[in-house]
Structure 1
């Protein structure tokens, strides 16, 4: 994680107000020198007479500048500049990762099982100190490892997976996703990544419904595609990357290949504060500094109330 990850703009769309304020300030400054449009509206002779009698007060550029500075600071305050709270890491129990591994025939006989295990281990390591669970599925789904921070026991179970781990034939990713969602719900997790590692077989409308349900909970579904590395037996399902992309899009996450999993690892490896903020729990993760900018905006605003002698 880079140092910039500790900073954020909670309401970045307010940045659009800054150039608008700058344009309005320039326009106001041009019209305030020295009397705005009064010089055009009043007869020149009458204006000269009034000036000699001391009845004409010139425009003040300072007031326009002070108003522009105050408005600009207010706009910047509304963007919500924030820093990550020092205690954000203490909320890691609210942030978890569930790996959903496809152990159907097309994966185990397609030569991708070894890479699947290695990449799943990489996902667990990317999660850092947060808890990780493992769900495996084929014809049915099982919780192989409940949420844990013990990477040694997790790795032991992970590398023991083989073609006979799930006795049920078939491929039902929706059952794996449903079990992942239930596991997160029972743990009271508020920010989570569900990482589906599959060749795309069996993904249909039921899996899409589960992906949307995961997204509605404020969690994200990431996907890693397992390509076939050997010729599959006759009648075996073929890998389907397009299906994986579709279900991941429904889950609001990122899809990648096993050979280049960096986008998914980066998403899982983001800080707890970033995950909480993405899940709508920004107040737990970041301290909003906008209030201090509002106090600073009061300084030029006070100039607007200064009375001339």
Structure 2
């Protein structure tokens, strides 16, 4: 079935007011130029039966309300996806923050981390991708680039002795990511970690990223040395989280190319707006307002 979307749904808020106005008009009854307030009911009914009093104002009010309702429905922008819509690459950068603490680097989880990072590169679909590594401290490996081939070789050579220190401080990684993405609107950060070191400082940095408009996704590693992935701690950081061995939810989010904040100027390229056609129907009840009367 064809998917129907509303491009400007806030216009629907006007419909309850129009409905209230229609109910008030219905309860008020047909007007007759004020004669209904001064004439006895029996005389008023007789004069109306003889055709001397017309309820044209009431019918004109109904026509105006019907036209206003059609205009509101048209302005809310009912639309269907265009079959010939162009495929646009997202403009926001993607940054991969890879946990290289000893619990990951010295365990089979490292291979899962490399595979997950490679999957993120494949899902970028033209978006710039950058890379940072962290253990006790965070280090920028590559600023976001539109050539992911340069990152593929760097991810492939990751090893246990590549980081200069021990420990695990994801808070430092999120702080560095926030600085790297300051100039990139509509950006995504993908944290690949076993959950070690997640604390209040990490959650505070995640809140700052969200405040800057950066979407944080998490890929949780299992089988890390010294224990399993702390998925509960990782789940408190990002709005989307998934196991590193099943990253499809995160990859789907990235491949939408920033669809959570769509550019209104591109709506006409993606959807066929039926609003103008629906708004044009408002002319039918309005035509009755221009009818000449004797």
**TM-score strictly above 0.5:** yes
1:131 to 107, 128, 132: 128
SS class of match (2:164): coil
CA RMSD of aligned residues (A): 3.7
Structure with greater proportional helix content: 1
Task: Tell me how far 1:275 sits from its aligned partner.
Answer: 5.1
Match of 2:112 in 1: 115
Q: 2:235 aligns with which of 229, 245, 254?
A: 245
Task: Report how far residue 80 of structure 1 moved.
Answer: 4.9
Give the CA deviation at 1:111.
2.1
- State the shift of 1:198 in Å: 0.8
Which position in structure 2 is the counterpart of 1:299? 283
Equivalent residue, structure 2, for 1:260 = 246
Shift of 1:138: 0.5
Q: Is 1:286 matched up with 2:286?
A: no
Q: Could you tell me how far apart the structure 2 residues matched to 1:136 and 1:89 are?
A: 30
| CA distance 1:285–1:168, shift in 2 (3 Å) | farther
Structure-1-length-normalised TM-score: 0.75
Which residue number corresponds to residue 192 of structure 2? 197
Residues 158 and 291 (structure 1 numbering): CA distance in 2 closer, same or farther, change over 3 Å?
Answer: same
SS at match of 2:218: strand
The question of 1:210 aligning with 2:191 is answered: no
**Alignment-derived partner of residue 161 in structure 1:** 158
Aligned-residue offset at 1:264:
0.8
8 Å CA contact 1:95, 1:275 repeated in 2: no
> Which portions of structure 1, spanning 4 or more consecutive aligned residues, are displaced by more than 6 angstroms?
29-35, 38-42
What runs of 5+ residues in structure 1 fail to find an aligned partner? none
Alpha-carbon shift at residue 9 of structure 1 (Å): 3.7
Please, what TM-score do these two structures have when normalized by structure 2? 0.78
Give ranges in structure 2 of 5+ residues lacking alignment: none
Deviation at 1:265, TM superposition (A): 0.8
Q: 1:51 aligns with which of 48, 51, 55?
A: 48
Mapped partners of 1:172, 1:137: distance in 2: 7
Equivalent position SS for 1:286: helix
Shift of residue 267, structure 1, vs aligned partner: 0.9
Aligned length: 285
Residues 1:226 and 2:221 are matched in the alignment: yes
